Amino acid sequence: MVELEAESPERLSELCEKLLANPLIEDFEIQTL
Amino acid sequence: MIWGVLQFPGSCDERDALHACSLLGEARLVWHETRDLSGIEAIVIPGGFSYGDYLRAGAIARFSPAMEAVAEFAAAGGPVLGICNGFQVLCEAKLLPGALLLNEDQRFLCRQVDLVADGPKSELTGDLSAHRPPEALSIPVKHGEGRYWAPDEVLDAIEAGGQVAYRYAPGQNPNGSARDIAGVSNEAGNVVGLMPHPEHAVDPLTGSTDGLRVFEAMGRVAA
């Protein structure tokens, strides 16, 4: 799990696809707290 | 011939890679912050733990200025060899297909294995893949995340396309890699990644000089 403060929450999915997760081998789910 | 060996924070095999390259020509260290590859004719991305392997092995290194330059270098047909972490970086950068997962037994391993050049598509395996029956190279592996994986349709495609550059010899797959794959190339054949460490097998003192042949094959292509 990665917790972070996001200045642009609308770009979180893009951030996951480009860096935080490797979509080839990992799924991701975004939870806003 | 001028070789460039990348160094990221956390790299640990760049010195051995420099030594291997220096046996065949001039070898230059390329710091991760530079985009300047001028004069360099072949690139080696060495092993280690780039950027501490944070997120995933190779995940952050792919965004470095040096890797941006390597992507341009590769797109122009320049030869690129990624070793271990370098292989992981190339997969994360999408310059090579697939991914490297934790070893099947979840343990770091370090041992000598036999490797067979199997890549008719890759020029970087040179005449290593021309021998029939294939000639085994004795080269060490040392990694925790070296299990090559790709979806079955991708595996089928890279096998059909001759992009499997190296396989572990029968019965010697140390990490559960799919179809005994130890290294792959890109479609063009000028970018190759492998998990075993040819730079650690260039001196009789360490038990094998077979690794030098991997560099020699690359050098012949780049020359």
Binary contact (B55, A20; C-beta < 8 A):
yes
Distance from CA of B18 to the nearest CA of A (A): 30
Per-residue pLDDT of B110-168, as tens digits, reads 999 999 987 666 666 766 766 656 678 999 999 999 999 999 999 999 999 999 999 99
Positions of B marked catalytic? 84, 197, 199
Binary contact (A24, B63; C-beta < 8 A):
no
Distance CA B93, CA B71 (A): 8
CB atoms closer than 10 angstroms to residue A12? 15
Per-residue pLDDT of A5-33, as tens digits, reads 888 888 899 889 888 889 899 989 998 88
Per-residue pLDDT, B123 = 64
Per-residue pLDDT of B176-190, as tens digits, reads 999 999 999 999 999
Residue B223 has pLDDT above 80, yes or no: no
Name the DSSP class of B68. Answer: H
Residue B43: domain span: 2-222
| CATH number, domain with residue B102 | 3.40.50.880
pLDDT-above-90 percentage for chain B = 87
- In A, which residues are within 8 Å of B99 by CB distance? 22, 24-25
Give me the residue from B60, B63, B99 closest to A25, CB to CB. Answer: B99
Question: How many domains would you assign to chain B?
Answer: 1
Residue B72 has pLDDT above 90, yes or no: yes
